Amino acid sequence: MKSISNFNEISLKLRPDSNAIDNTNAFNTYSQTKFNQFLKTNGLKEVGEISTLEDEVFNNIKAELVRLKSECVDIDRDRLEFDLAIVFHRNLKKLGWGRWNLNDISMWRWLSLNYFRDETFWRRGENKFHKHQYFESAKSTYDHLIGSRIRDIFPRRYFLLGERLYDKNTKYEKNFLFYLRIASQVVLVILYSI
């Protein structure tokens, strides 16, 4: 698996800034291919190798997310957290990944930046972009690709949620229903208190 060897240096170069229009555009409008070229142009240094199986799994995640987005057009994206978690977790488990992978932050950042710019923009920045809040959109996408807070790195976040949802015997079903029940109780409590 690959990782980033110069994160501290590169994170400052990539940060969206109202004076750096290219950086804002990169996080808002670039395709993944163009974004990857942008990363290399700005000096992203990678270490390690990516296997054919890893590439296949990552592309399968992307394909499942495209399908999920097309099936859930009218659903609030906040309601898709568990669906995203299941997609990431089920696929990454095919690589034998587990909780021990959660601490490899450079690997998660590399994966996030090099494979999931479009999906992170869709989940975190697109609504702001359509409201013409271009800098805020780019900043939100940047924060979740890079992980301004480590827990927010896009694929890591959903893999961790998947780890919490997964049970060897019932797969995702039992815990998924439990979390949905908890979430609905919270909504009911909020509605009741209004």
Q: What is the pLDDT of residue 99?
A: 87
Answer yes or no: pTM beyond 0.75. yes
- Give me the torsion for CA of 146, 150, 155, 161, rounded to 10°: -160
95-147 tens-digit pLDDT: 999 888 899 999 999 999 999 999 999 999 999 999 999 999 999 999 999 98
Q: What is the pLDDT of residue 177?
A: 54
Regions in the chain scoring below 50 on pLDDT: 186-194
d(CA 119, CA 88): 12
Instruction: Identify whether the C-beta of residue 4 lies closer than 8 Å to the C-beta of residue 10.
Output: yes
Indicate the length of the chain as a whole number.
194
What does the pLDDT read at residue 193? Answer: 46
Gap between the terminal Cα atoms of the chain: 49
What's the pLDDT score for residue 75?
84
